[in-house]
Amino acid sequence: MPANPNILEMRSISKEFPGVKALDDVSIEVEAGEIHAIVGENGAGKSTLMKVLSGVYPFGSYQGDIVYQGEVVRFRDIRQSEAAGIAIIHQELALIPELSITENIFLGSELNRAGVINWRDAKTQAAELLHRVGLRDDPDTQIKHIGVGKQQLVEIAKALHKSVKLLILDEPTAALNESDSQHLLDLIVGLKGKGVSSIIISHKLNEIEQIADSITILRDGKTVETLDVQKHVVDEDRIIRGMVGRSLQSRFPDRTPHIGEVFFEVKNWTVRHPQVPDRLVCKDESFSVRKGEIVGLAGLMGAGRTELAMSIFGRSYGHFVSGTIVKDGKEIELKSVADAIAHGIAYVSEDRKVLGLNLLDDVKASTVAAKLEKISRGGVVNSFKERIAAEGFRKSLRIKTPSVDEGVNKLSGGNQQKVVLSKWMFTDPDLLILDEPTRGIDVGAKFEIYGIIQQLAAEGKGVIVISSELPELLGISDRIYTIFEGQITADLPVAEADPETLMRHMTSTQKKVTQR
């Protein structure tokens, strides 16, 4: 290797998806033997960049050069990048629960002779690898019997088996508790001493501060800056400024809020994880919504925003532990989605294709799907009223479709989202919970969606907007709650909120502030 100290250079990487420029001239340099952190808001392009690097997006589907160990590389798939010593460990672990630790470590690269696996050697090697990552479990243990923290370690052991030189970790500690996280971070630092460089993507800035040698900040698919921890004074505030530092242009329609009295309250809401009984996804959360108010819910991925919303919406997520819901002064119990709809609550889900729409349906059937009773008599749907309702929303929300008979899978993202909105507006809700209402749609459609949200508030409805985009929340909300690890950490009127403050509350519980 020449005198180039960099194990990896990604030069001017650009990657486009139809209608969206995901990466725009992004460059990063990773020195051999360093821990390089990549930070940015959700959607800033971090994962896309790593997918380009690991060959998930093959050579030719992006512009720019990847220089790895001094040579330009052109990975056509993930196998080639693995062969070169690049291992990526995803947020969602790629382990097979029913197989043992040994079987998972050697999956795809089994120790074999003529197709017959040598289990004895495999087990010996697995035990060594486990020792290196500090895991003392029996290599015969099934993956499903060990916790998420240990599973992460198995993933790393698997990477070590492939003699990894560059380890990429995508949100490695998102699902881990404190001690597991610390163990993992120590391991990454330990590996650095043994010549394994790491790229770590994380929302947890305190962890990054702790272990990173340099930090690259991405925003909107562009490199903002790279901070060298030795040279710069880097603290969380400095990173946050880089992550969110953009101006709030007039991307939001004008509006004068008319806010009434509190009509919806959630008190001491506590919910268990559906699969992990000792994990609480909502910890004693309380909040309220006023009539005509747009309330923002800010939190990073995994903070428990969606979990909170869905558990309120007829207990459609997790196991209800305790808490009360008060609407219009009366305590109500919402045991099913049908109850929630009947009580005038609507939830527009985060993922419209998976949770929001039946993509086989047409526009009109989708519009009325959540309240068929409204246009039915004796269980028979009146298709005349269905069409009228759908046509009404098509006009008022300006849904661009040749006709309401068109399949929703033919519509663009923004128009699909409008169909989902009309589906829930059709249920005549008093409270709408909108989970990432503008995800994956273009700027023009976003503006229109904001207009619809404001219109709903103007009609006296309460609206809760969950969003990963802080500028969006600041632009649309009257008041913002922040959530961190299943707890509400702040309640800020929008006038007192700015991206830095929000991000601080979204990344720690320490400075718990209660405004009122």
Partner 1 sequence: MSDTKSTTEKAPTPGFHFRDLTKMFGGSQSSGRQFGILGALVVIIVFFQIMTGGKTLDPSNMINIVNGNSYVLVLAIGMVMVIIAGHIDLSVGSVAAFVGIIVAESMDKWGWPIPAAMVLGLVVGALVGTWQGFWVAYVGVPAFIVTLAGMLFFRGANQFVGDSTSVAVPREFTFIGGGYLPEIGPVTGYNNLTLLLGLAIAAAIVWQEWRLRRTQTRMNADKAPLWVSGIKVGLLLAVVVGATLLFASGRVGTSYPIAGIILAVLVLGYSFVTNNTIIGRHIYAVGGNWRAAELSGVKIQRVNFFVMWNMSVIASLAGMMWIARSHASGPGDGVGWELDAIAAVFIGGAAVAGGIGTIVGSIVGGLVIAVLNNGLQLLGTGQDLVQMIKGLVLLAAVGIDVYSKRQGRPSILARFGRRGESGGTGAPGPSGENTAQANTPAADK
Q: Contact with partner 1 (CB under 8 A): which of 85, 299, 414, 475?
A: 414
Q: Which of residues 113-172 bind partner 1 (CB under 8 A)?
A: 170-171
Q: How far is the CB of 442 from partner 1 (least distance, A)?
A: 6
User: Binding residue for partner 1 (CB under 8 A) from 161, 291, 423, 479?
Assistant: 423
Q: Which is nearer to partner 1, 86 or 341 (CB)?
A: 341
Q: Which residues contact 173 (CB under 8 A, 6 or more apart)?
A: 180, 181, 184, 185, 202, 204, 207
Nearest to 341 by CA among 419, 430, 266: 430
Segment 31-90, which members bind partner 1 (CB under 8 A)? 42-48
Pick one of 196, 357, 463, 497: the residue that binds partner 1 (CB under 8 A). 357
Number of Cβ atoms within 10 Å of the Cβ of 144: 11
- Under the binding rule (CB under 8 A), the answer on residue 502 touching partner 1 is no
Q: Which of 31, 361, 498, 500 binds partner 1 (CB under 8 A)?
A: 361
Nearer to partner 1, 43 or 499 (CB): 43
Binding string to partner 1 for residues 168 to 207, with x set by CB under 8 A, is what? --xx------------------------------------
Looking at 27, 80, 91, 118, which residue binds partner 1 (CB under 8 A)? 91
The percent helix, strand, coil of the chain (3-state, each to 5) is 35, 30, 40
Nearer of residues 261 and 405 to partner 1, judged by Cβ: 405
Which residue, 77 or 405, is less far from partner 1 as judged by CB? 405
* Site size toward partner 1, by CB under 8 A: 74
Please name the residues in contact with 228: beta carbons below 8 A apart, sequence gap of 6 or more: 213, 214
Considering only 381, 392, 447, 487, the residue that binds partner 1 (CB under 8 A) is 381
Q: Name the minimum Å distance from CB 112 to partner 1.
A: 34
Tell which one of 4, 5, 12, 20 touches partner 1 (CB under 8 A). 20
Minimum distance, C-beta of residue 276 to partner 1, in the bound complex (Å): 19
Choose among 213, 325, 205, 192: nearest CA to 270. 325
Torsion 95-100-105-110 (CA) sign: negative
Cβ neighbours of residue 502 closer than 8 Å, sequence gap 6 or more: 298, 470, 473, 474, 480, 482, 490, 492
Q: Which CB atom, from 335 or from 512, has the smaller least distance to partner 1?
A: 335
439 binds partner 1 (CB under 8 A): yes
Under the criterion CB under 8 A, does residue 365 sit at the interface with partner 1? yes
Among 199, 445, 449, 463, contact with partner 1 (rule: CB under 8 A):
445
- Least CB distance to partner 1 at residue 358 (A): 4
Q: How far apart are CA 158 and CA 324, in angstroms?
A: 46
Instruction: Find, among 268, 258, 262, 269, the residue nearest to 328 by Cα.
Output: 262
Residue (46 or 150) nearer to partner 1, CB: 46
Instruction: Say what the alpha-carbon torsion angle 444, 449, 454, 456 is, to the nearest 10 degrees.
Output: 150
To partner 1, the closest distance from the beta carbon of 465 in angstroms equals 16
Q: Which amino acid is at 130?
A: L
Smallest gap from Cβ 59 to partner 1, in A, equals 16
Told to check if 508 binds partner 1 by CB under 8 A, we report no
d(CA 59, CA 271) in angstroms, rounded, equals: 45
Residue 362: Cβ within 10 Å count: 19
Distance, in Å, from the CA atom of 275 to the CA atom of 5, rounded to the nearest integer, reads 46
Give the one residue of 112, 336, 396, 510 binding partner 1; rule: CB under 8 A: 336
Buried b (16+ CB within 10 A) or exposed e, 177-188: eeebbebbbebb
Least distance CB 115 / partner 1 (angstroms): 32
DSSP 287: E
Nearer to partner 1, 261 or 373 (CB): 373
Q: How far is the CB of 410 from partner 1 (least distance, A)?
A: 6
Question: Taking contact as CB under 8 A, which single stretch among the options 13-21, 108-116, 234-242, 322-330 is the one that binds partner 1?
Answer: 13-21
Residue 415 within binding range of partner 1, rule CB under 8 A:
yes
**Comparison of 122 and 201: residue with beta carbon closer to partner 1:** 201
Residues whose CB falls within 8 Å of the CB of residue 85, separated by 6 or more in sequence, listed in order = 162, 163, 164, 165, 166
Beta bridge partners of 166: 86, 197
